[in-house]
Structure 1
Amino acid sequence: MLVNKDRFKVDDTLSEYPKEVKFKYNWRKYQQRVLDNLENHLKDGHLHIIAPPGSGKTVLGLEVAVRLNKPTLILTPTIAIRNQWIQRFCELFLQTDQIPDWISKDIRKPKFMTVVTYQGLHAACNDLKIEEEDLEEEDEVEESAKSKHTNANLEKIVSGLNAQKIKTIVVDEAHHLKNEWWQTLTKVKEKINPVIVGLTATPPYDVSPIEWQRYIELNGLVDMEISVPELVIEGDLCPHQDYVYFTMPTEKEHQDITNFRDNIEMLFQEIKNDETVIQAIETHPIWKNPEEQLDWIYSNFSYYSSSLIFLKANHREIPETHLEVIGDKKIIIPVLDYEWTEKLLEFYLFSGNEHFKEYEEHRKTLENRLRRYGAIERKQIDFLYSKKVTGFLASSISKLNGIKEIVDFEYNQLGKDLRMVILSDFIRKEYFVSSSENNLELNRLGVIPIFEKLRRENTANKKIGVLTGSLIIIPNSAYNDFETRAAKCGITKINSSIVPFDSDYVLINQTEQLTHNIVHIVTQIFQSGGIEVLIGTKSLLGEGWDAPAINSLILASFVGSFVLSNQMRGRAIRTQNGNSNKTGNIWHLVTIDETSPTGGDDFDLLKRRFKSFVGVSFHEQPGIENGIGRLNLGENIREKEEAEKKNIEMFKYAGDRENLKELWEKALETGVTLVEELKIPFREEKEYKALKSMYLNKTLANLLATLGSGLASFGLEMIQEFLKVARRIRSMRDLYFFLTFFGIVGVLFFGRQTLKALRLYFKYRDISKDIKKIGEALLDSLIKARIIQTNYSALEVITSVDDWGGVYCHLEGGTTFEKSTFINSLKEIIGNVENPRYIIVRKNRFMFFKEQRDYHSVPEVIGRNKKLAEHFKTQWKAFVDNCDLIFTRTIEGRKLLLQSRIKSLAAQFDEKAQRINKWK
């Protein structure tokens, strides 16, 4: 029950939290563990907690601040999250609906508790006139911090904080900062010397060691990291699953996308034969005198390659001098495609100013044409990706039908128990009319168009509501409940009216009295069932909002940061007191682009986002992992039939919530912790085990297994045929004829893949057999570099193979950052060679006569130092095999680097190594 704010009305000289401040609920298990060991955690002056969205980090941070019992500064990445901290504190600790006088949102006027954004702190320390209230999204804010500032007003801000005796600073998601914000925050910390409470759901494990060190210096070493599966085990998060619903663009959207593709193809064909570009490239020194331009060529090889490919496409003979520069006289020059044309144009338009000055007018004209066609964005040329096409897909009207299908499906499953939230980017108020009928065509995606789509086709009488910062609609049936709850908050007058085009709904107008309570009141109505489907904006409901009753969530669009999308998911996966059977369905809408080989930008974006979503898989043996692969969607979905088939499959899974709980129970039994590992995939239609038991992974062993199996099968058939015709062999000539005939049939039988297997086998050594050995050499080198500081005896390189032939490798023991750095470095070693300072040339002899070579990057964290690189070479020789270490920043080194890019074993295979998180 909320109490009167006067109970906590104190003057500005407050030096400790009022004794009545107390968290109103019981603590979760992990929270209690942190609090029980708080004294030990704080010995270094820091508390650093990593936990997923929905785990209760905010209330834990507030409790720690209360227990430290000193004036507090809380820093957040956005306004919505800032407001969430204040709202949670008032509701859950003060049990009041009003903000006390001793809480401030203004860093220039600090009080006992001051809650501001990082941007607000930076702006104040530099005396910038940036109003925090204007900054709603962290992505929008970042642009405002581009210019350099000197923190000229920092002393004044620090003086104000010191006057309030601020000794606790809580930093929420602190790594989402620009460099200048880091600098400001670090200086404030140095001058105040506070206790730091660091909380995050997304630690920056993929940054450089220097950036990680900066992050650790602010937050302190990680005191506790808890994962989604652990919280499900503890009963803090409910069993949940992500589902994908595919839609196809409308006819107009499809036509617009097709027009874009057609225009780009027409432009490509014109550029392909552009005589001016041909002349410009032919007069460039890299074409005329490549031997004199070696340093430039090896430093800009993609530009050089695109020039050769372009000229070859225009029937120019490539002189042998160029093949010598490449280092492979037998190389086949690729066909000119979009990607190579993009590189060529980048060279011609933006990077070759010195030599292309006389073509300035042509370059400008061509650049303008590319811009008109939507093929240039910030000097990045892309013929496949376009903001225009991305916009068509992200905001496709077809998603309105998808949303209705999902809502109807979920309502059929749960009926009156449905508590669904639909989040969109925009309100689109223009679709709310004041006339008695609303027959506007719904041709844009947003909160009101979604409301209208569901309202107009609401045959089941679902209770639908809208909650945004400026527009609130509730069912008429819930209005009495609204009045009752408002009265409890001391609100006696409500400015409301019937929705002009539908008497079943009421429009609530914002008043000064309602402003602070409206979200809370509507949320309570939703929780109790007065609203079953609530539609809102991500800025209001995505972050600073909590409604444990949610059991279905639709993310209608993807605009915004990765962090935000994960936080939005967190709304639906929290457990609900008194509802032990709760499960959460999270729906992602994707519009397919049939003209894209990958299914389009919408699908590609979802694949990237799923890397940060951990959940249960739909594999035959359920497991818990991240990535889109756990949903068994297939690589690329392009056809309407495929999309519809997957939608039916998704509904089948989503309708069986009991099975979802069982999947989680089975999957949780398979492990004890979430492990980050490197996966080298094996791409096969059939199940790996059914293919051959001798397979080890998708490298040479697989190819050779296929080859050996084929040879055995073909050999058996050959013997059988030989026995049949043996009686007809009268001479050596007949025997030669027989062998020649079956030899030709054999080549045809094995085909291209077998020949590739043979060629690769004779050329390279198997990576997979050595993956553990490579991991051991890497581990020793990372310890030598003091990047990994855990004792060697507590560490182990673990490798395994799954049922589909994928090879996995991870580091057991050590800190999370050390494990992540190990995975990053291993990925560099076995991935495609890019542009490392050093490369390892691996050498081995096959059957004592054929030397095999392969090329591997020396990881950046080791290659930055010559002594460390040489130590890595020594460890490679000790653990793996003979090798050479090549420094690539010389002419000869660059030439070898070029060869390694072309010839490395990793480049021979389609699928790349992937970083994954898996419950083991």
Structure 2
Amino acid sequence: MKKEQVQWRSYQTRVLANLESYLDDQSIHLIAPPGSGKTLLGVGITHRLQKKTLILVPSLILKEQWLAVLRQYDDSLAISENLLDSEVVTVTTYQELYSKKRAEPLFFAEEGIEFLVLDEAHHLKNSWSEVLLQLKGNAPDLQTLSLTATPPFDAAGKEWQRYVELNGAIDEEISVSELIKEKVLAPYQDYVYLVPVTAEGYRKFEQFLYEQEQIRQVLCSDQEVTDYLLQQDFLQTPLEETEFIYKNFDYYLSCLFYLNEQDYELSKDHWLVLGLDKRMTIPEQSKKSLIDLYTQLYKSQPELTIFTYLEKMKWFYDSKLHLFPEYTLNNEYRQNIPQLKEAISHIVIKEESYLGQELSCVVFLDRIKKEVLQGEDMEWSYGVVPIFLTLKDLIQPQTELAAICGEFLLISQQLGDRYYLGYSEFFQKHPLCDGYYYLPLTEKNKAEILSQTTQLLDQKRLHILVGTISLLGEGWNCPAINTVILGNRSSSYVQIQQIRGRGLRRSSESKLTNIWHLGLVFPNVPFAEQPDIAPIIKRLSYIEGINEFEAPPLITTGNERFDLPGEATLEQINTYTHQQLFMAAEREQHRETWQKALVRGSRLSMPLFLKEISKKNEQQHFLTIKEQPKKGFWSSLTAGELSNYFSERKRERNWRRKCRQKEQLLQALLDLLKQDQLIAEEDQLYTAIEANSFYCEVKTVSYHNERLFIDAAKEMLEAIENPRYLLLIGGNTYAVPERYGRKKQEAEHFLKAIRKKIPSVSIVYTRNPKGRRLLVEGRMQTLIHERRETVIQQKIWR
């Protein structure tokens, strides 16, 4: 479509109108779901900026897609697909740039590249990102555009920092909800099918926990380590070693925890260093503090025999410490293969009974397991072939089933004879696949056969397709899909979102997609500690969806919408799964709920919730926002808990007083951002204080403005780590946001603004001895406080 004929969608228009504000940091970072028109939007942005542009993509298919859209948009544009012969716009792959220009750090500057487009930015691997960061660093005037549907929100801290360093802060997030409201995508419902592990699997998990605890005990009480630490100057004469202590505070603290557990009493000098006038109960050694301790010990004293012990226990290998490894579920998945296959079968049969011939279902798997066709035992095999063979004997005669991977297609003889006649000479029959053809795939016929199979699924002549993620994952498009089953071992948020995206394309007014996640559950283990469920729920918590447990129902992120059972007993696990299957039948009701919730808003807001949680109950909350029910006066009286009632009321009064101070601080921050013309004058702060939580949100129509405020607010409200400047307000300490903490002049500008609301505030630089001590005191208060403040960011459609 020519540029003059493009009918931009509302969110595309919004992005194009805000380009100048996005580029305040030389980067544009956009998140938009599959099907939202990212490529066309990228072309529109490139055309608006009129700079010499290099577009990088992760695959040849996407390269061809960009070239086609560019030529269609402006047929007079000078375009090249050769990195060594660049034009006004050049399109190539990350692989080509890496292979040809990784040794030329000045390439961007020498070629005059002014605008760099990073498509599917979540694909940037370490080697690619290193090269791009170097090239970008040597071209200070370079502007960038990063496009992705799935930023790696669950990446490790360093990986996320590298991602943001390369792509810049997120400027705009086009939400799925907005696209559903505009009838670009279809509504959906995520379900979690809980699969109890076998008794043997549970015993192995218990044995793992027992062995880990035994190793922990050794780490907490090694005599050689104790003797070594007692010889260290920073522990013997801490007042003379404060510079070392403040620079290595986590290590110092872990040493104190360690020695305390050996019944060594801290001297008065240590209490002075910690900034605590009165003695307190030293916290127990935690996993984190043990990691801090032994990481530093290995750097300074690698010959300690404890490291030989850790190597024997497989906590040390490849010259690296791997302390407190996560429980690996590989064995449990093998042991629970019959249960997992039963779960998939259960879901398919239920969805088939709900939808009949309207079913368009895809089961995604990691493996093929072709050897089952060659005689391997099917009972303990898990992949495309065993799932196909299991379902074949369970579905109704009129339901059409197929399986596809990069090597073959299994299709019913009825569909094969009718729609694959051109390949009939290649049809094979197999005794395990009675009534089905086995059709080998080659590089020549793969694309055509996949296209034909996709078309049949899209037309609902085929109802269930079992396939591999490698073939049916990112980039595969079949709008009619209304049931997605993730039978794979989902490894990341990025992969989950890409697979979920296969079911979000819109094919009709009435479409709603059910998306099923399978998770192994260890009975009687808290959900926050479940090695399979906890990661699934964490990844899903980034995804917006209907929370029907609110009144009225809301579209939100967070894990509360899954309403997991209070305890992982077998009875509650089975009850929960049956409820999920029952709810899956109510598609029309869920679709209507989506429509009602969408009408009430226009965008996803990003409020912060600050919760106060007792450390004793921290695990059971699992980062939920719901207030816990409180006992009233009379119920406390009759239960003999009146003292608890009054102490709780006192705690609540103190909490509300602290929150009112935070309100003033956040209002001052908002006023400063307005004064600096970083956000709009009409943007307003809204706060609410509850018994255990504090809520803040900026009422604005701009994602960019809200993100800027929320990021700064989080820095102030979260536990203090290592900011350059601290705010002191009474006995409370807050971090100065990095935006205003890079230089002394900026920090003083920030202080002046805060004093308009809180005259008694002062500021401290933490890179000198006095500031370091105050920083330590602030961190110690967080550690010793009986209740912990946790910041949770949620997104709510408003």
For the 8 Å contact 1:62–1:89, the answer to whether it is kept is no
Query: 1:887 maps to what in 2?
Result: 765
SS for the counterpart of 2:241 is helix
SS for the counterpart of 1:624 is strand
* 1:227 counterpart letter in structure 2: S
Deviation at residue 887 of structure 1 after TM alignment: 2.2
* 2:272 counterpart letter in structure 1: E
Decide which of 274, 293, 305 is 1:362's aligned counterpart: 305
For the 8 Å contact 1:495–1:510, the answer to whether it is kept is no
Deviation at residue 547 of structure 1 after TM alignment: 0.2
Query: 1:455 maps to what in 2?
Result: 392
SS for the counterpart of 2:719 is coil
* CA–CA distance in structure 2, aligned partners of residues 368 and 318 of structure 1: 32
* 1:639 counterpart letter in structure 2: T
For the 8 Å contact 1:496–1:508, the answer to whether it is kept is yes
* 2:343 counterpart letter in structure 1: G
For the 8 Å contact 1:624–1:918, the answer to whether it is kept is yes
* 1:345 counterpart letter in structure 2: Y
Deviation at residue 907 of structure 1 after TM alignment: 5.3
Query: 1:52 maps to what in 2?
Result: 33
Spell out, residue by residue over 1:632-655, the C-alpha distance to the aligned partner (whole angstroms, 9 max, x if none). 226x75333332222122222211
2:765 is the counterpart of 1:874: no
Query: 2:119 maps to what in 1?
Result: 172
SS for the counterpart of 1:498 is coil
Query: 2:279 maps to what in 1?
Result: 330
2:598 is the counterpart of 1:668: yes
Alignment of 1:250-399 (within 5 A): 250-328=198-276, 329-348=278-297, 350-351=298-299, 353=300, 356=301, 360-370=303-313, 372=314, 374=315, 379=320, 381-383=322-324, 385-386=325-326, 388-389=328-329, 392=332, 397=337, 398-399=339-340
* 2:449 counterpart letter in structure 1: I
2:363 is the counterpart of 1:422: yes
Query: 2:618 maps to what in 1?
Result: none
* CA–CA distance in structure 1, aligned partners of residues 51 and 291 of structure 2: 58
Decide which of 776, 784, 795 is 2:667's aligned counterpart: 776
For the 8 Å contact 2:370–2:385, the answer to whether it is kept is yes
Deviation at residue 118 of structure 1 after TM alignment: 1.9
What number of residue pairs does the alignment pair up? Answer: 771
For the 8 Å contact 1:856–1:904, the answer to whether it is kept is no
Decide which of 379, 396, 414 is 1:441's aligned counterpart: 379
Query: 2:699 maps to what in 1?
Result: 812
Change (3 A) 1:887 1:570: same
* CA–CA distance in structure 1, aligned partners of residues 656 and 19 of structure 2: 54
Spell out, residue by residue over 1:824-858, the C-alpha distance to the aligned partner (whole angstroms, 9 max, x if none). 22122222222222222221xxxxxxxxx222222
* CA–CA distance in structure 1, aligned partners of residues 237 and 22 of structure 2: 66
* CA–CA distance in structure 1, aligned partners of residues 607 and 119 of structure 2: 27
SS for the counterpart of 1:913 is strand
SS for the counterpart of 1:388 is coil
Q: Which runs of 5+ in 2 are unaligned?
A: 73-77, 615-623
Query: 1:618 maps to what in 2?
Result: 548
* CA–CA distance in structure 2, aligned partners of residues 196 and 322 of structure 1: 50
Query: 1:557 maps to what in 2?
Result: 488
For the 8 Å contact 1:830–1:906, the answer to whether it is kept is no
Deviation at residue 106 of structure 1 after TM alignment: 7.0
Deviation at residue 571 of structure 1 after TM alignment: 1.4
* CA–CA distance in structure 2, aligned partners of residues 41 and 307 of structure 1: 48
Decide which of 404, 415, 434 is 1:503's aligned counterpart: 434
Deviation at residue 267 of structure 1 after TM alignment: 2.1
Spell out, residue by residue over 1:278-328, the C-alpha distance to the aligned partner (whole angstroms, 9 max, x if none). 222222223322222222223333322322222222233333332332232
Query: 2:532 maps to what in 1?
Result: 602
* CA–CA distance in structure 2, aligned partners of residues 594 and 809 of structure 1: 37
Cα RMSD (Å):
4.7
Q: Which protein shows a greater Rg?
A: 1
For the 8 Å contact 1:468–1:537, the answer to whether it is kept is yes
Deviation at residue 568 of structure 1 after TM alignment: 2.0
Deviation at residue 794 of structure 1 after TM alignment: 3.1
SS for the counterpart of 2:402 is strand
* CA–CA distance in structure 1, aligned partners of residues 305 and 49 of structure 2: 68
* CA–CA distance in structure 2, aligned partners of residues 494 and 114 of structure 1: 44
Change (3 A) 1:169 1:530: farther
Query: 1:124 maps to what in 2?
Result: 100
2:729 is the counterpart of 1:842: yes
Decide which of 734, 743, 749 is 1:856's aligned counterpart: 734
Deviation at residue 70 of structure 1 after TM alignment: 13
Change (3 A) 1:706 1:28: same
* CA–CA distance in structure 1, aligned partners of residues 742 and 51 of structure 2: 44
* 2:35 counterpart letter in structure 1: G
Query: 1:236 maps to what in 2?
Result: 184
Deviation at residue 50 of structure 1 after TM alignment: 4.6
For the 8 Å contact 1:625–1:917, the answer to whether it is kept is yes
* CA–CA distance in structure 2, aligned partners of residues 482 and 92 of structure 1: 35
* CA–CA distance in structure 1, aligned partners of residues 428 and 519 of structure 2: 36
* CA–CA distance in structure 1, aligned partners of residues 52 and 751 of structure 2: 54
Deviation at residue 365 of structure 1 after TM alignment: 0.7
For the 8 Å contact 1:248–1:591, the answer to whether it is kept is yes
Query: 1:483 maps to what in 2?
Result: 420
SS for the counterpart of 2:510 is coil
Change (3 A) 1:454 1:665: same
Deviation at residue 664 of structure 1 after TM alignment: 0.8
* CA–CA distance in structure 2, aligned partners of residues 818 and 646 of structure 1: 40
* CA–CA distance in structure 1, aligned partners of residues 12 and 259 of structure 2: 69
2:520 is the counterpart of 1:591: yes
Change (3 A) 1:395 1:837: farther
* 2:94 counterpart letter in structure 1: Y
For the 8 Å contact 1:419–1:529, the answer to whether it is kept is yes
* CA–CA distance in structure 1, aligned partners of residues 387 and 612 of structure 2: 42
Deviation at residue 123 of structure 1 after TM alignment: 2.0
* CA–CA distance in structure 1, aligned partners of residues 131 and 482 of structure 2: 38
Query: 2:56 maps to what in 1?
Result: 75
Q: Which runs of 5+ in 1 are unaligned?
A: 1-20, 95-101, 127-148, 685-696, 718-744, 844-852
Deviation at residue 904 of structure 1 after TM alignment: 4.8
Q: Which deviates more from structure 2 when the two are superposed, residues 603-612 or residues 177-186? A: 177-186
2:749 is the counterpart of 1:749: no
Change (3 A) 1:776 1:308: same
For the 8 Å contact 1:298–1:894, the answer to whether it is kept is yes
* CA–CA distance in structure 2, aligned partners of residues 209 and 382 of structure 1: 23
Taking structure 1 as the reference length, the TM-score comes to: 0.72
* 1:54 counterpart letter in structure 2: G
2:415 is the counterpart of 1:474: no
* CA–CA distance in structure 2, aligned partners of residues 409 and 251 of structure 1: 27
Spell out, residue by residue over 1:743-788, the C-alpha distance to the aligned partner (whole angstroms, 9 max, x if none). xx98x6323x7547647867x772322343221222244456x5x6
SS for the counterpart of 2:564 is coil
For the 8 Å contact 1:258–1:595, the answer to whether it is kept is no
Change (3 A) 1:286 1:53: same
Query: 2:678 maps to what in 1?
Result: 789
For the 8 Å contact 2:150–2:498, the answer to whether it is kept is no
SS for the counterpart of 1:497 is coil
For the 8 Å contact 1:794–1:814, the answer to whether it is kept is no
Identity between Structure 1 and Structure 2 (%): 27
Deviation at residue 418 of structure 1 after TM alignment: 0.9
2:715 is the counterpart of 1:766: no
Deviation at residue 31 of structure 1 after TM alignment: 8.1
SS for the counterpart of 2:272 is helix
Query: 2:743 maps to what in 1?
Result: 865
* 2:542 counterpart letter in structure 1: S
* 2:461 counterpart letter in structure 1: G
Spell out, residue by residue over 1:651-677, the C-alpha distance to the aligned partner (whole angstroms, 9 max, x if none). 222110111012112212322221112
Structure scoring higher RCO (CA < 8 A, sep ≥ 6) equals: 2
